[in-house]
């Protein structure tokens, strides 16, 4: 919840959107599509959320990509 706020609170320099398959473990399913973008030094949670909306909706228009396993060691 509130991923954009957590990214800002943690001083992250980039954020993104990930579409993945559902699994029993939270955020552990195979990845379908992932888009990342830079967080500006003056960005607020609203700005980051708005930046998430563009790639999230664009990827939905591209059809269903092949799933790839997620490296659970790389999650943050």
Phi, psi of 14 (to 5 degrees): -140, 160
Q: Which residue's structure tokens are 């990930």?
A: 18
pLDDT confidence of residue 51: 93
pLDDT confidence of residue 38: 97
pLDDT confidence of residue 76: 66
Cα 32 from Cα 1, distance rounded (Å): 20
Cα 45 from Cα 48, distance rounded (Å): 5
pLDDT confidence of residue 29: 92
Minimal CA–CA distance to 74: which of 24, 18, 4? 18
pLDDT confidence of residue 22: 92
pLDDT tens, residue order, the chain (76 aa)? 789 999 999 999 999 998 889 999 888 899 988 889 999 999 999 999 999 988 888 877 777 788 999 888 887 6
Could you give the domains of the chain? 3-74 (3.40.50.170)
């Amino acid at each position: 919840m509130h991923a954009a706020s957590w990214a800002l609170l943690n001083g992250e320099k980039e954020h993104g959107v990930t579409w993945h398959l559902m699994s029993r473990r939270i955020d552990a399913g195979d990845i379908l599509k992932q888009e990342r973008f830079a967080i500006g030094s003056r960005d607020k949670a609203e700005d980051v959320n708005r930046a998430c909306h563009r790639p999230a909706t664009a990827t939905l228009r591209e059809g269903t990509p092949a799933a790839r396993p997620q490296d659970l060691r790389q999650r943050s």
